[in-house]
Amino acid sequence: AGSASTSSIRQVKLDRESELRIEVGSDSPLRLRLLSGNAEIFGTELPPEIWLTLPPRLKIAVFTWYGATLEMDGATETDYTADETPMIGYVNVHAILEGRRSRARASSSDDPGSTQGPRVIVVGPTDSGKSTLSRMLLSWAAKQGWKPTFVDLDIGQGSITIPGCIAATPIELPIDPVEGIPLEMPLVYFYGHTTPSNNVDLYKVLVRELAQVLERQLTGNAESRAAGMVVNTMGWIEGVGYELLLHAIDTLNANVVLVLGQEKLWSMLKDVLKNKPNVDVVKLQKSGGVVSRNAKFRQKARSYRIREYFYGPANDLSPHSNIANFSDLFIYRIGGGPQAPRSALPIGAEPTADPTRLVPVNINRDLLHLVLAVSFAKEPEEIISSNVAGFVYITDIDIQRKKITYLAPSAGELPGKYLIVGTLTWIET
C-alpha cells in the first residue's frame, strides 16, 4: 500500500507538561508515532519514530514532560491537546513510593513491616481514572527496575483477565499501551458476576483468599515485597461498595490509599483510618481527560474482553470447540441464588441462604451462552478457596444425547475437572 495517500497524516506539537487526548473512532484504527522529543502513554514511553497502531475505541493521552512532536495517521472520534493535567501530582506520589521501595529493600531488620514496600490502593467513583493511575504507577515503577504486584479487584472493568474475576500479577515491564498486561499465569479468582451485590460475602471471601496467597508469595520474595503492590478497585463507593473498600484496605494491608476525584470519600476514609497511623490517605485530582463510559459502553467493553480471551487481541488465537458428555463435567454454583433481603422475611427470621454454599448444577439449557471458570481445585470442597486456570464458553447443550459443546482456548483435556458457573454471559459476535 505504498501508494496510500499521505494527506491524512497530521503533525501535533506538544508543549512541555501537556497531553494529546485521543478517542480512536469505532470503525478503524489510528496510527501514531513520536517524531521528536519524549512522550508517554499512561506511564509507558513511546519508542521514537515507530508507528503504533491504536485499535478502534481506545481512549488515551500522550503526555510529554519536556515537549514532543507527534504524527497521527487516520481519523479519530476526538483529539485535542490539554495543558492542564494532574500529572505532576501523580509523579510526586510515584517519587514518594520509590523512596519507600528503596528503604524497604535496604532494610536489614527482621521486622516484616520495614521490608514491605508500599501497598497502594486506588479508590474513587466510576470514571475517575483509577485504572489509568494504577497503570501509570506500575509502569513508572517497572521502568525503574521494580516488579510491583498489580491487584485488580474490579469485577466489572478489570484489566488483568475477563470480567467477573479478581486477579493479581507481577508487572515486570512498563505496560504496553496497545497490548495491555501480558497474561503470564496471573493469579485469578472467579466471582462469576459483574456486580458485587450478587454475592457480597463471596466477594469478600475471594479477596481474602487472594490476599493470603499474595502474602505467602511476598514473604518468600524480598524483591517483590519491597516493590509493593498497586491495587485497583471498583467505582462502587456508596453503601456496600464503601464497606467493600474498607474490607479491601484492611485485608490487603494497604498503607497508601489514593483517593481520586471525590472529596467526601477522602474525608470519610481519612476519618475511619485515623487510628491507623501507618496508613496514608491521599487526595488526588481527577484528570479532565478521563472519558465517562455509560452502561452500554461498559457492557460492550466486557463482551470484547471475553472475546479477546478466546480469540486474542488481534484475532490471533484459535479457540477450540470441544464436545463432552454430561457425565464428564462437574459444574458448581456458589451460593444459593440471590439472598432474600432481611426486609422480605418475617420479623425475627434470619436469611438462611449460605452465600458460600457449593451447589452442584444439573446440566440443562440454562447453561447456554454462559462463561464458566475451570477451577484448580482437586476436590469440590476446595473450589471456593482455589484460583482458576481459565474459562470455557457453553455453545450447545444436547439434552437427548447428553452432550455439551464448549469453546476453550485450546483442544484437549481441561486443566481441572470442576467448573464454576455464575451469571457471566457472552453472546459471540
Alpha-helix runs per DSSP H in 335-381: none
Compute the least distance from the CB of residue 57 to ligand ATP, in Å. Answer: 9
User: What nine digits make up the cell of 10?
Assistant: 497530521
Q: For ligand ATP, which stretch binds (CB under 6 A), given 121-129, 172-180, 237-245, 375-383?
A: 121-129
Query: Which residue from 287, 339, 386, 387 is in contact with ligand ATP, where contact means CB under 6 A?
Result: 287
Query: Which residue from 94, 130, 204, 307 is in contact with ligand ATP, where contact means CB under 6 A?
Result: 130
Q: For ligand ATP, which stretch binds (CB under 6 A), given 223-231, 284-292, 306-314, 419-427?
A: 284-292
Query: Which residue from 43, 117, 118, 129 is in contact with ligand ATP, where contact means CB under 6 A?
Result: 129
Compute the least distance from the CB of residue 23 to ligand ATP, in Å. Answer: 7
Which is closer to ligand ATP, CB of 49 or CB of 179? 179
Q: For ligand ATP, which stretch binds (CB under 6 A), given 266-274, 285-293, 326-334, 396-404?
A: 285-293
Compute the least distance from the CB of residue 159 to ligand ATP, in Å. Answer: 8
Gyration radius from the chain CA atoms: 23
Compute the least distance from the CB of residue 19 to ligand ATP, in Å. Answer: 6
The DSSP line for 251-292 is HTT-SEEEEES-HHHHHHHHHHTTT-TT-EEEEEPPPTTPPP
Which is closer to ligand ATP, CB of 40 or CB of 154? 154
Going across the sheet that includes 30-37, the strands are 9-14, 68-73, 30-37, 52-54
Nearest alpha carbon to residue 267 among 283, 287, 250: 283
Q: Check binding of 131 to ligand ATP (CB under 6 A).
A: yes
Compute the least distance from the CB of residue 407 to ligand ATP, in Å. Answer: 27
- In a 3-state reduction of DSSP, which class is residue 372? strand
Q: Check binding of 139 to ligand ATP (CB under 6 A).
A: no
Query: Which residue from 241, 289, 319, 335 is in contact with ligand ATP, where contact means CB under 6 A?
Result: 289
Compute the least distance from the CB of residue 190 to ligand ATP, in Å. Answer: 19
Nearest alpha carbon to residue 166 among 129, 126, 211: 211
Compute the least distance from the CB of residue 211 to ligand ATP, in Å. Answer: 20
C-alpha–C-alpha distance, residues 55 and 277, integer Å: 45
Query: Which residue from 18, 44, 132, 161 is in contact with ligand ATP, where contact means CB under 6 A?
Result: 132
Q: Check binding of 245 to ligand ATP (CB under 6 A).
A: no
Please give the residues from 51 up to 70 whose contact with ligand ATP meets the rule CB under 6 A. 59-61
Q: How many residues bind ligand ATP (CB under 6 A)?
A: 19
For the chain, percent helix, then strand, then coil, each to nearest 5? 25, 30, 45
Q: For ligand ATP, which stretch binds (CB under 6 A), given 26-34, 47-55, 286-294, 367-375?
A: 286-294
Contact 284, 146 (CB under 8 A): no
Query: Exposure string (b/e) for 207-237, b if CB count within 10 Å is 16 or more?
Result: bbbbbeebeeebeeeeebbbbbbbbbbbbbb
Q: At what angle do helices 263-272 and 240-251 cross, to 10 degrees?
A: 50
Q: Are strands 165-170 and 149-152 parallel, antiparallel or unpaired?
A: antiparallel
Contact 422, 333 (CB under 8 A): yes
Compute the least distance from the CB of residue 227 to ligand ATP, in Å. Answer: 22
- In a 3-state reduction of DSSP, which class is residue 189? strand
Which is closer to ligand ATP, CB of 20 or CB of 211? 20
C-alpha–C-alpha distance, residues 328 and 350, integer Å: 38
Q: Check binding of 157 to ligand ATP (CB under 6 A).
A: yes
Could you tell me the CA-to-CA distances from 362 to 65, 327, 334, 365 in Å, in that order?
58, 10, 14, 10
Q: Check binding of 86 to ligand ATP (CB under 6 A).
A: no
Compute the least distance from the CB of residue 55 to ligand ATP, in Å. Answer: 12
Q: Check binding of 235 to ligand ATP (CB under 6 A).
A: yes
Residue number of the CB atom closest to ligand ATP: 289
Which is closer to ligand ATP, CB of 155 or CB of 363? 155
The DSSP line for 59-102 is EEEEEESS-EEEEEES-EEEEEEES--SHHHHHHHHHHHHHHHH
C-alpha–C-alpha distance, residues 131 and 403, integer Å: 41
Q: Check binding of 194 to ligand ATP (CB under 6 A).
A: no
Which is closer to ligand ATP, CB of 186 or CB of 235? 235
Compute the least distance from the CB of residue 304 to ligand ATP, in Å. Answer: 12
Instruction: Calculate the dihedral angle through the C-alpha atoms of 273, 151, 170, 106, rounding to the nearest 10 degrees.
Output: 0
Q: Which residues bind ligand ATP (CB under 6 A)?
A: 21, 59-61, 124, 126-132, 154, 157, 235, 287, 289-291
